[in-house]
Amino acid sequence: MNGTDLVILGGGPGGYACAFRAAQLGLSVVLVERDKLGGTCLHRGCIPTKALLHTAEVADTAREGVRIGVKSSLAGIDLGAVGAYKDSVVDRLRQGLRSLADAHRITFVKGTGALVAPGTVEVDGRRCAGRHVVLATGSYARSLPGVDPGGPVVTSDQALALTSVPDRVIVLGGGVIGVEFTSLWRSFGAEVTIVEALPGLLATEDTYAAKQLARAFRRRGIKVKTKARVATVDRTAPDGVSVTLESGDVLSADLLLIAVGRAPNTVGHGYEESGVALDRGFVVTDDRLRTSLPGVRAVGDLVSGPQLAHRGFQHGIFVAEDIAGLDPSPVQDTAIPRVTYCTPEVASIGLTEHAATDAYGTVETVTYDLAGNGRSQILGASGGIKLIRAPHGAIVGVTMVGDRVGELIGEAQVILGTGATAKDLASLVHAHPTQNEALGEALLAMAGKPLHAHA
């Protein structure tokens, strides 16, 4: 394999994006993957969970049709058929990726690779050498110490493969995975309790989102327990699994989902042994994603920061272009949009009020309630938008809560990217009636001329 420009370890979003871009730029690429192309995102994360969340949305629509005069009801969820639909979506996308990899003439090596020296990866005993090595081995679902998955205790990996809807579920962890599965199972008819150690759900988001989401979840009949720490888990309980909290409360359910974060896949791949510096398990990189070992870069969930597929894509593209000498701009974590696909959805970009206050000393905020937005009222959506303005006039944070607000994040991204003031942006004409108009209303309010809102 001498003469290869890039050997990439891992075929998830970071790895395959790097491979595709490098190939487009005329570099020769070897992509090493032990499983299927697409990684966690395609096989155990973004795509299968969003397929399930789509079925949840359809179930809610069937259940709620009667409220708006459509005689409908939900007869039940056939999780076998739901799973077949989810798998068909995943398989179609996987085949698409495979055909793109072939079209780019990427050499795909199936096997478990390890870094053995700068520029050298060993795959099941076979050596692959390249001018550059890109580490892209992603992350895995953490468990609680002493509580390994098995039986009624699952991580998101096993939760995606359930064949029947559990009657009662405890979700441990109120981060992105926890709230998405909570929302999903509630829509499928389960009784769900979500347990979070911190004071609010989605702790990395603005507290505005956490409060709106907790309120909406409670309205949906979900039990939300915050500031709740687990003392013990008993998986031998006669009726499934029982969880005792430090407060003494005992919860029992048929299923316990552990969603307490994802850890970088950095052990067992020869990284530290070859001289790649790690910090709390993450690969240490500079702003050009170079590791401490010359010629070795790292992308995606291996690098401390938001663990998001679209960050991985951007990392991969950046590294390929940097190696090809195009001098791309480094990827900024604050410019990465975040979307949580629960009902209601949460979408955000930039800083939270807390982080903006730390950064600028003082900030101004405006909130706009979807109660004033015509399209949201038609759709029965509740939630709102919060804008954060720094003292120099630029908007530095946007948080949105409501049905399908994830589709609105693109405009917020452009707003943050341009650094324009609310006064300039308030003259943008938004189509009526759209949900996207709510962002326009928030901008009007921030410019001191609210329309469908009280001053």
Instruction: Please identify every residue annotated as catalytic.
Output: 432
What is the biggest distance separating any 2 CA atoms in the chain, rounded to whole angstroms? Answer: 69
Taking CB under 6 A as the criterion, which residues in 131-150 touch ligand NAD? 144
- Contacts with 431 (C-beta within 8 Å, 6 or more apart), sequence order: 437
Per-residue binder mask for ligand NAD (CB under 6 A), 41-80, x = binder: ----x-----------------------------------
CB-closest chain residue to ligand NAD: 175
Cβ atoms of 441 and 452 closer than 8 Å = yes
Neighbours of 131 (CB within 10 A): 14
User: What is the token pair recorded at 138?
Assistant: 């992603």
Among 58, 198, 355, 453, binds ligand NAD (CB under 6 A): 198
Cα distances (Å, whole numbers) of residue 42 to 157, 286, 297 = 12, 28, 23
Among 18, 154, 171, 176, binds ligand NAD (CB under 6 A): 176
Three-class SS state of 141: strand
379 binds ligand NAD (CB under 6 A): no
User: What is the token pair recorded at 52?
Assistant: 């399930």
Taking CB under 6 A as the criterion, which residues in 388-417 touch ligand NAD? none
262 binds ligand NAD (CB under 6 A): yes
Three-class SS state of 50: helix
Look at strands 250-253 and 241-245 and give their pairing: antiparallel
Cα distances (Å, whole numbers) of residue 364 to 353, 385, 390, 396 = 9, 14, 7, 10
351 binds ligand NAD (CB under 6 A): no
Residue type (1 letter), 235 = R
Closest contact distance (angstroms) between CB of 151 and ligand NAD is 19
Closest contact distance (angstroms) between CB of 142 and ligand NAD is 7
340 binds ligand NAD (CB under 6 A): yes
User: Which of residues 26 and 146 has its CB atom nearest to ligand NAD in the complex?
Assistant: 146
Taking CB under 6 A as the criterion, which residues in 202-261 touch ligand NAD? 203, 229-230, 259-261
User: Which of residues 207 and 421 has its CB atom nearest to ligand NAD in the complex?
Assistant: 207
User: What is the token pair recorded at 168?
Assistant: 């009662």
User: Which of residues 155 and 373 has its CB atom nearest to ligand NAD in the complex?
Assistant: 155
Which residues of the chain form contacts with ligand NAD (CB under 6 A)?
45, 144, 172-178, 180, 195-198, 203, 229-230, 259-262, 306-308, 339-341
